[in-house]
Amino acid sequence: MGVIEYALYDEVEMKKPHPCGSKNHLFQIVRVGADIKIRCLACKNIIMMDRGHFNESIKRVISHHLEEIK
């Protein structure tokens, strides 16, 4: 499988849902660097993970946004 390209503020679908109880797997990337920060779109909590773990956990990019989803 090829590498999935993503950027700041992309809305992404992860392989596993957030433990907040939401049935969706949707998150928004809010920081890109050596570590990646993603925000759960259901409960708005932020998860920080290293880039390698993020690359293994991402399923697909849903859409690109120019700013954070409020």
In 3D space, the residue among 21, 34, 26 whose CA is nearest the CA of residue 65 turns out to be: 26
Q: Is the pTM of this model over 0.85?
A: yes
Sign of the dihedral through C-alpha 31, 37, 41, 45? negative
Mention every residue, 6+ apart, whose C-beta is less than 8 A from residue 53. none
In 3D space, the residue among 45, 34, 41 whose CA is nearest the CA of residue 65 turns out to be: 41
Burial class of residue 34 in the structure, from the number of CB atoms within 10 Å of its CB (0-12 exposed, 13-18 middle, 19+ buried)? exposed
Tens of pLDDT, residue by residue over 46-69, are 999 999 999 999 999 999 999 998
Tens of pLDDT, residue by residue over 5-46, are 999 999 999 999 998 988 889 999 999 999 999 999 999 999
Query: What pLDDT is recorded for position 9?
Result: 97
